[in-house]
Structure 1
């Protein structure tokens, strides 16, 4: 059983350049952990620290109770898949896949057997004699994955491996990846800024910002119980509505609408309210929290419409998802907010006031 641990990991390149500030994380066999965050948040640097391509300024990388800080990349038994595929253009597919095994002086017959099994699993058997220039983008990506899998490493590291693929091919390869690594039962650390990849592939998502972990949780909890305003706004498409509201007498004010604050927070003078577009509907008489506004913009997504609604007397607008078959008055559209789907955040810290985090 392989277990990878990061203890207070930090990487500093210059006094004001600290892409990884203080990261602690444990990844067990079978875990598919995605590092998710915007460009510059430190996710690729963190992956390079794990692989040994960078040395940490502080902290430790530990695999099965063994510290790896001073062990070179080639001796860590980790397989890394890069964004650029990194295939040898003069080698055949077979030789690209087998290259790491040949360096380790694995017997030729075992190399042949390993390559045969991995190639069959990835649909590369008929391509083994081709050169990379004769392959499509999806085929090249599978060759890069095969080269990692054939090594039978202790840990898999993947750095945005699907970013060079077009949208339809990315969806196909993403599904293949999920099934492929489910059968490996090894720790997998996957770097991406694409939240769809993170939410569909991962057993847990690590959301990063400015070199610090914002939340570690299952995809479901990341989406439905964000720890702070950054996570709430970064995860989800269309983006969550986030409104800074004035509070009076234990309620937040959205235009003419009064929304009761969560218990224990009635003394707040202002608060940030979040609600996802899919959690707002056209109002009926049975809805408790309703708000009226004017339609500013309608975007057709085919299956649904994304409608931007201005709320009078508030300097706010809400984006909502509506079935195209429904009818409404553009100048006086009445909306209902699902009271069970409201997210509340401390204005000063951005932390959820319902998550138990100090705010």
Structure 2
């Protein structure tokens, strides 16, 4: 077992520059963990501390029960795939794949066997005698992944490896990566700001912001049960509707409409309602609760659906906007429509802390 554990990692450059404040997590064998967050949240710095390229100011990196916090990168038996590919331009694909093993003085026969296995796995046979300048972006990325795989490392680290690829190629390579690392069964730590990569590749996702982990859960739980306002707003496209609403009795007031609150001990004066656009639906004859009404002012065609923006009817305050994914088989422009907010799909957040209330 090559369990990777981070304990209270902190990286402080100056009193004002602290990219990683307190990060603790665990990655088991056969787990694919993605560090996801906006630029400057601390995800790449965390990865570099795992790799040994940065020393933590505080905290520990534990691998297989051994404290490796201050071990040199070359002594950690980890393999890293960089955003820039980092291939040797003067070497062929075969030489790039085998160079690290030669430096470690791995026997020649074993090098040939490992390279042959990786070449077969990644479909690189026709490219072995080419140099990086003669390869496409996707081919270079496969070589970079192959160079990591031949090491048979205890942990694989990937730092935004798909960010230099165009959209179509990124989708294809992403599918390849998922299958490749499923076979390897070693812990994988993957850094990205792309939530699609995080949701499709990972068995667990750590959402980072301002140097802290906001939520660490499987992708489906991150999406369906966000821990706070930051996670709710960051994950999902189109973005979740997040509306600050005043409370009246046991209800929140959305324009002229009352939305029943969950069973919370104390009803605040104001609360944040969150609901994803795909969960906002048109009224049917069976609906009698959580109904709102408004006028469409913007329609965006997303292909399978229209993203429709509605001003909710309000007699006293400025109109609030709610967005819904609605069918493309009819026109919605300037229509008055009625919508339902299913209670099971509503998330309630505290205005002050941003934490989930339900």
Equivalent positions of 1:187-266 (< 5 A) are 187-265=187-265
Write out per-residue CA displacement over residues 269-291 of structure 1, whole angstroms, 9 at most, x where no aligned residue: 11000000000112123222111
Q: Are the aligned partners of 2:247 and 2:271 in contact in 1 as well (CA < 8 Å)?
A: yes
Q: C-alpha distance in 1, partners of 2:54/2:137?
A: 29
Q: Are the aligned partners of 1:250 and 1:265 in contact in 2 as well (CA < 8 Å)?
A: no
Post-superposition shift, 1:309?
Answer: 0.8
Write out per-residue CA displacement over residues 259-304 of structure 1, whole angstroms, 9 at most, x where no aligned residue: 1111024522110000000001121232221111111111111111
Query: Could you say which residue in structure 2 is the equivalent of 1:49?
Result: 49
Farther off after superposition, 311-320 or 119-128: 311-320
3-state SS of the aligned residue for 2:184?
Answer: coil
Runs of 4+ in 1 over 4 A off after TM superposition: none
Q: C-alpha distance in 2, partners of 1:228/1:145?
A: 35
Query: Could you say which residue in structure 1 is the equivalent of 2:292?
Result: 291
Query: Could you say which residue in structure 2 is the equivalent of 1:357?
Result: none
Q: Are the aligned partners of 1:310 and 1:318 in contact in 2 as well (CA < 8 Å)?
A: yes
Q: Are the aligned partners of 1:195 and 1:235 in contact in 2 as well (CA < 8 Å)?
A: yes
Q: Quick one: which of 306, 321, 326 aligns to 1:322?
A: 326
CA-atom RMSD, angstroms? 1.1
Post-superposition shift, 1:326?
Answer: 3.6
Q: C-alpha distance in 2, partners of 1:286/1:326?
A: 22
Equivalent positions of 1:107-256 (< 5 A) are 107-256=107-256
Alignment size in residue pairs: 354
Query: Could you list the runs of 5+ residues in structure 2 that have no partner in the other structure?
Result: none
Q: C-alpha distance in 2, partners of 1:201/1:76?
A: 25
Farther off after superposition, 73-82 or 262-271: 262-271
3-state SS of the aligned residue for 1:207?
Answer: strand
Q: C-alpha distance in 1, partners of 2:320/2:38?
A: 26
Q: Quick one: which of 327, 340, 343 aligns to 2:344?
A: 340
Q: C-alpha distance in 1, partners of 2:267/2:185?
A: 50
Q: Are the aligned partners of 2:297 and 2:333 in contact in 1 as well (CA < 8 Å)?
A: no
User: What TM-score, normalized to structure 2?
Assistant: 0.97
Q: Please tell me whether residue 78 in structure 1 is matched to residue 60 in structure 2.
A: no
Counterparts in 2 of 1:113 and 1:308: CA distance versus 1, 3 Å: same
